[in-house]
Amino acid sequence: MIVRYEPWGAWVKTETIPALVALDRDGVRALGLDGGRAWRAGADATPSPPIEVHLAVTSRCAAGCEGCYLDARPDGVEPPADEIERAFDALAKAGVFTVAFGGGEPTLRDDLGDLARAARARGLSPVVTTSGLGLGARKLEQLKSFAQVNVSYDGASEAYESVRGFDGAAAAESAIAKLSGTGVVVGVNVVLTRDTFERTKETIRRAASLGATEVQLLRYKPQGRARALDYLAKRLSPEQARGVGPLLRELAAEHEGRVRIRIDCALVPFLSADADLASRPEELARWGVLGCEAGDLLGATRVDGRVAPCSFTAPTELRVEDLAKGWADEAGFAPYRAYSAAPAEPCASCTLRKVCKGGCKVVSEYANGTIGPDPECPRVREHAAGAGEGRPSGA
């Protein structure tokens, strides 16, 4: 297992059961370990390095998805391998646990398997997202080097096309089956839009039948090519946003752990509409549910080596090779950290505040030109409409 000391104890990454555990000081001592300097330095005020970094290994992609958050194109940039390996060195030095390969379409790189092994050699857990388009034997072999592979799959033909502008569902389904068949741990990324939301249960059943063992539900976000007027038509309706909690409950009951259900950070604010979940913030925290961790537990690196708070935000001046020494003080992270630490109402009084951290700042910046309460959060909507007055927090 890999241990990274923190002022409160340590992050512990276990290998026999893939998990990342936040262990308190007594627990760390029980393992025969001592945080030493990290426990004495009054380091509470210093932001720790991220636990997970999303690394764009290419900005090339021929798929042309309408909503691509990076505006990836066929003539995009592919950094040389040695540059990416230097990025791995920097992530390892900082104590990052997981590196998520993205792009662009990572499988367009001929050296993808080598890069995954290079990440592993440095103690990092490499994972990757792919469209699954054109997944032949060679690419399949390369993907075996990853701890997990997620295929972008928004549902059967119409659902898929409604998100990406073309029907790549068959290719994605084929990729899921091939990956599963070769023993790769495979999950799917499902973007929730107004069109796909009602078909989510059907989509997950289909993915599970093909061998997917994990589903990550993603909120549609206004960035890249999705930062257009049709974002407003594609995003979840207010009623659907309120329905995320009940949907998750139904999915958990149906799949009973056989297919693991994940939500992305941007969906956490929608849980505020679920009275049961909103009353259980400690349990959410205990099970490691993370809201906006941009510039905190999460970072993202662009193909040019610049580090951003998350994949959807503009890059800062910090370069990945300087991550360990520059993460804490990079000014570009300050607005994200500041709002997460002290959000305005109605976030300030929300029971989920410490988990949610003020909702998706990419959405609030898109809607209002500044970081603030997530305007699509049901609780924020109620507050804005004046209906939030006097309501119990989180309800």
Partner 1 sequence: MSEETVRETTEPRELDVANVRAVRVGHGANCSSVGSVIDTLFLGAVVGGALLAAVCAAMKVEPVTVVGQTRDAEDAPHDGGDP
Beta bridge partners of 299: 53
183 forms part of the interface with partner 1 (CB under 8 A): no
Question: Closer to partner 1 at the Cβ: 3 or 334?
Answer: 3
Nearest by Cα to 315 from 336, 346, 297: 336
Per-residue binder mask for partner 1 (CB under 8 A), 196-235, x = binder: ------------------x-x-xx-x--------------
Among 194, 255, 306, 319, binds partner 1 (CB under 8 A): 255
How many Cα neighbours within 13 Å face the side chain of 196?
Answer: 26
Residue with tokens 């899921």: 176
Which residues ranging from 335 to 364 are in contact with partner 1 (CB under 8 A)? none
Question: Closer to partner 1 at the Cβ: 179 or 388?
Answer: 179
102 forms part of the interface with partner 1 (CB under 8 A): yes
Question: Closer to partner 1 at the Cβ: 245 or 346?
Answer: 245
Among 58, 59, 78, 98, binds partner 1 (CB under 8 A): 98
- On the question of a cis peptide bond just before residue 136, with omega within 30 degrees of 0, the verdict is no
Among 61, 172, 210, 248, binds partner 1 (CB under 8 A): 248
The distance of closest approach from Cβ of residue 116 to partner 1 in the complex, given in angstroms and rounded to an integer, is: 12
120 forms part of the interface with partner 1 (CB under 8 A): no
Classify burial at 204, counting beta carbons within 10 Å of its beta carbon; exposed 0-12, middle 13-18, buried 19 or more. buried
Per-residue binder mask for partner 1 (CB under 8 A), 47-86, x = binder: --x--x-xxx------------x-----------------
Secondary structure of 296-320 as H, E, C letters: CCEEEECCCCEEECCCCCCCCCCEH
| Size of the residue set binding partner 1 (CB under 8 A) | 105
Among 26, 75, 82, 389, binds partner 1 (CB under 8 A): 26
Which residues ranging from 281 to 340 are in contact with partner 1 (CB under 8 A)? 283-290, 293, 297-298, 310-312, 324
Among 142, 150, 162, 180, binds partner 1 (CB under 8 A): 150
Question: Closer to partner 1 at the Cβ: 37 or 80?
Answer: 37
Nearest by Cα to 394 from 264, 269, 284: 269
Stretch near partner 1 under the rule CB under 8 A, chosen from 133-141, 144-152, 331-339, 369-377: 144-152
C-alpha to C-alpha distance for 292 and 336, rounded to whole angstroms: 9
Among 76, 79, 103, 281, binds partner 1 (CB under 8 A): 103
Nearest by Cα to 164 from 225, 254, 210, 212: 225
Contact between 339 and 361 (Cβ < 8 Å): yes
C-alpha to C-alpha distance for 1 and 171, rounded to whole angstroms: 36
Question: Closer to partner 1 at the Cβ: 298 or 388?
Answer: 298
Residue with tokens 């349990």: 283
168 SS3 class: coil
What's phi and psi for 327, nearest 5 deg?
A: -60, -45
15 forms part of the interface with partner 1 (CB under 8 A): yes
